[in-house]
Structure 1
Amino acid sequence: MDHLFSDLKRKGIHVYGKHNTRINREQEESSLEAIERSRVIIVIFSHSYASSTLCLNELVKILECKKSNKDKYEVWPIFYDVTPAMVRNQKGSYEQAFMNHEDSNVIRWKKALTSAGNLSGWDLQNTTNGNESKFIDIISKEIFNKLVDGPIPIGDNLVGLYARAEQMNLLQFVGSDKVHIIGICGIGGIGKTSIAKAIYNLMYKHFEACSFCEDIKDVVNRDGLVHLQTKLLDDILKDDDLQIPSVSEGVCLIKRRVKGKTVFIVLDDMDNQNQFEALAGHPNWYTPGSLIVVTSRDRQLLKANHAEQIYDIDPLNDEEARKLFNKYAFKNQQPRDEFTECANRILHYVDGLPLALKVIGSSMFNKTLHEWEHEIDNLQCSPNVVIQQLLKESYDGLDTDQKNIFLDIACFFRREKKDYVLKVMDVCESSFATNLRVLVDKSLISVCGDRIKLHNLVQEMGRQIIREESEEPGKRSRLWSPTDVLDVLKNDKGTEFIKGLALDLSSTKVNIDGQSFTKLKNIQLLRIYIGDLSSYTSGINCISELWKETNVRTASGKLEFFSNELQLLCWHGYPFQHLPASFCPESLLVLDLSFSRIKQLWSGSKGRIDVYEEVNIFLPGSRIPGWFSNENDGDIITLELPPHWCYQKLKGVATCAVITPVNNSNESTYSEISCSVKNLHGDLVAGVSLLATDDPNIGSDQIWMWYKRSNPRWRKPDDQFKVSFVCVGINCKVKKCGVKLIFEEDESK
């Protein structure tokens, strides 16, 4: 036993044991406590073992512990100079020993010996033909390998990890007759690795062999896939001498040698197909009852590789976020009252992202209130580098079109409707849907209902990419900050690099130089809008007079230039009566001039609407234009089709609605206005929803005009079709509506 103890200590294993059987009561209690604290318990059965009542009492205690918590304790017998049958049946020296025992515990001791004799262990004679040195080496290696397969350290400042791990209920897969591959998905810094470690610590005891491969992407970049294949097989097989010459050889070894054991493997931070094929492979590689857990930012990678369930990791809730932040920023102390406002600002900024709470919380520890305020201001214009780089890894994996869509969403379209973004970005529906799905699968955005959403820090990551294009705002591709937008438009600093520009009038007034638009030759998106009418405090009496608050300096008293590349032109309170004479709106998809002074949009050939696939126009007014040949009060109109009408000559349909407020309260809002065109059988021919802002209280009559080019569904109407409008909300209604069919002979009109 001394040699075994020494070998285990050399391997760094803490050992408790006794050399004699004559100990006092206090030492006996200490021995029983040591049993309870142990993970691996070795029972050495020798010729004289049954003669010691202390040994027999310890054996009873050991088996009681094993029975009460079988996952915690490993009990391994060593049959030194006796056979398992002698112990199990109490023969030989064991029988003689019991003839000398008169204790009332004899029955319990015999039962314990019988149970222990049936346990799997080592017999010195049968294992190594009596060679003690080899015997000790085999046993110490087995103990070492078992202890290595222990819980993985996660850290001390844990919030919500084990609760989220338990909510997944992966214990349902223990003892299954199938192989299960489970995915865990989420943005960088959301806690996928930490939750995977918590899952491992809860689950590893239920399997014959386990492996946790952490940070696969970085390890592969640094050491290669063969290194990870070697680690995985070493964890499973406990073979230090394993040599893998290539990835393909590693795949063959995993398929051949992992079979036969129920294994639990966690593969953390997978990011491409090659990694999956080299490490996880196919469910048929493994024995039924095995469980493979994979974490990744890429949902599509998981779906494409047999993941039967994918768990999305949500940000921490408000209570959890505050608790985790306090652990780092205040070392679990209750923050002083003067820090509460600053702490709330940070919690809102990080939006429940655990990594950000740790990084920013640690950076704030032991700093003054003034330093806190300074750091928070810095975060608004310069996000933390560690967080920025971690989140940007998902962006770096996108192609050019996907990157542009993501940047447009981050800068302009957060919380907007998916269909509206499709219209504005002028891409074919299938391509946009595919690219949007990639952004969802990469955990960069989410689509809730029909709205596009993204995390605060993911939005900041995208916007920081734009900031890094140039130190000069006028040389960046997208502008959204009121400070940057007004600097460019007021001081004529625009350039051809600007593709999109947005200015929220809820937070600022417009005081710009009209000449600055002449330099925006390639701008595709111009959006000067009221994001929140209830917070607009310019002091005007009526929202329809918003244009009076817009100061645009021009030499001629009118605007001279808009880029012909414009696809979205939204200017609430546009202060001029006409659009620029040189403006050709052939690229225009959405026109919104609500609350403006506009009197005429354009004339001549520029006024043709049939050149567009689809266009929306929203502007002030209370009359249906006379150009619409059919008009009706209310929100429904039925149109008789001309005799012998020909679908092939139909260019499209134009509809118009006058939307009027129900009351003048700023407390009510509507979310959208929709228009549908149906035949008399109720079949949908065409339909659209006009996106509205979260608080678009219109305040005065507005006109919405919509044109849709014809498609094969127009063959459905027979003699009549019906156009209907619906306002979702309680603050507005459709007062009048009109419709006009556009035929080839109308092109000259």
Structure 2
Amino acid sequence: METREMEISDSSNGTTGSITDRIRGDIQASLRSHFDVFLNFRGPDTRLNFTDCLYHSMDAAGIRVFRDDEEIRKGEAIGGELERAIKSCTICVPIFSKNYASSAWCLRELASMVDCSRNRDGEGTILPVFFDVGPRDVKLETGLYHEALQKHEQKFGCEVVRRWKEALREAARIKGWNLKDGGQGELIRLIVAEVLIKLNKREKILPDHLVGIQDRVEDVVRLLDEGSPDVFYLVMHGMGGIGKTTLAKVVFNQISSRFHGCSFLSDVREALKGGKVIQLQKQLLAETLNFKPIEISDSDAGISQIKRRFRDKKVLIILDDLDKWDQLSKLAKNRDWFGRGSRIIITTRDTNFLPLEEEYRENNAQMQFQEFKIYQMEELHHAHARQLFNKHAFRMDSPPNEYDDVSRDIIYKTGGLPLALEVIGSSLYCKGKQFWKDTLKKLDLVPKQDVCDKLKISFEMLDDAQREIFLDIACHFIGEERVYPYYIWKALDFFPRSDISVLAHMSLIKVDDDDRLLMHDLLRDLGREIIRREDLKVPGKRSRLWCPKIALDVLHTRKGTENVIALKLTGLCKEHDFTSEEFSKLPNLRFLELEGGNLAGDFENLLSSLRWFSWHRCPSDLQAINLCLSNLVILKLLDSDIPENWNGWGPCLANPDLKVIQVIRCHLSAAPDFSTCMNLKILVFDQHCPKSPQMGSSISKLERLKRLEILAAQVQSSKLSTSPHFDPW
């Protein structure tokens, strides 16, 4: 199931026909998507066996494959769809068989693939497969292809065939796979793994500046002892910000292709705290098996699937940031769940939850302590710490002479912690020497072991709006696509474009390739601790409540205050209805996330400051009366059954400056009337219905619409593409 995403530029004519035509044209354009892999093969030789299995294995792994059957092609020239497919593909896979050279179409495609690879300076990769021939046959060093090529010369001429011969020789010089080296199943697994790496679908993104990492990688690889058939766990242990996750990513990128399957589960502790165990189990199964997500009803069913499907597979699994045995037990509890040679790497700040030697003797834990190997992460050596700091503070390996002393003192105060070196160094970039000296004085006041207070120095460099944005991200927007909170901050008269840039340049946040906001967990903890310290005893006096249980208690006991601006009420044990009296204590609420339940009572003049409203499993009949979200900017409805004339549309669409409507995994037969929100920028319908919702004529009047995404359950093609991220600025 893929997303139909249309980029719609601003228009001034406002006619129904022009908008409709643009939408129709964009849908057609999306169907002409590019492909990841082009398969080149002679149909009668491999179409019904090897090529078919390879195609379906790649498709199951989420790789978009163009499979051309030369038997159905007519004519003598490559052009049109076929040429575009070859040019669009990142990887071309020619499958050489005994009768390959008898096909003029195969040879034409191969020559075109080689030309594309040359013209794109290696960006187009050729990965040859030698099915029932060897590289020497394809290099024309044996007589296997000679007779076929001679026949082609008589028909097409010497010059054309000369080009084909050069393409054969060039492709055969590339390191590929030979079926003689193993069975078809194993060969297909290796090809899919290599293609995924080439496409960077599994390779983890690393920081720009990696310093002092190679020695650590070698130590870890040595401990992993890849030659051993045993299954065991390697635990990377160290304080927050010391580089455990970065090291795990480097190791993963280096060795993942040597396993039958691999998966990197990030931030497991936080995910499970948010009740996402089934989501993690699905991700683990899908990534490791190179398969589309498997339906799992509950965590026990997920455990059964993992045990059954991984028992005979050599897998590499990274579990990033664990701190409880229960977290491990739901994903990789026992080594007999996995095939011989499997490795499970765990990163953690605390090893007390693991059944190591002393605990094993005392409690007879199920897992023997010998199964765990511990790699203790240490602070960076001074030379590496100095290099990393200088790269962020000066954008070079060594400081200017006049900064040598003060930079050395600041490096010493950070204690060789990579995160602190990066954040503090980035915060000092392009600042004057007096600013550096003031920062050093502040570091002198912080105990050496108190990392958060050191990082807080960089937070205190921010202006008020930048602090608000940092705290919003830390409490609510980690993993969120940047454009959505951008509209909230814009509505609050912040300057999010420049402020996000400042936070990123100070290494306080990151924006990934999917345009999502990320933050190191230590910086997230810093932000949340700042909020907690707003009032240590009374949560209702804090500005942001991200813990659902605390938020629920504040709401039900009516201890909320005007200080509260953000409230998260998801993942609770049971659904709750919320009354107008409870929300009357929260006049400045601007972020609200609900799951289930209903709103009941008279909401006149309440929630008037709300900018972001997200509701999982919203009610089909809204009980609130006089509700009017007159300043709403973002509306998200998820996992809901929304009737055609839902009485929630009126209150939710009251603001003419509403910017985003997202309807995700909902049953919706008809879209609402959009005539009240003519400044809408993003409209998303990701449906579970068998058909797309009926749009109505009002959509044609949304002249400011920048993005329209429509996905119905019947859209199954893997040939649909997504457009690039659009810039809201």
Scaled by the length of structure 1, what TM-score is found? Answer: 0.39
The structure with the greater share of residues assigned to strand is 1
Q: Which has the higher contact order (CA 8 A, sep 6+)?
A: 2
**Structure of larger gyration radius:** 1
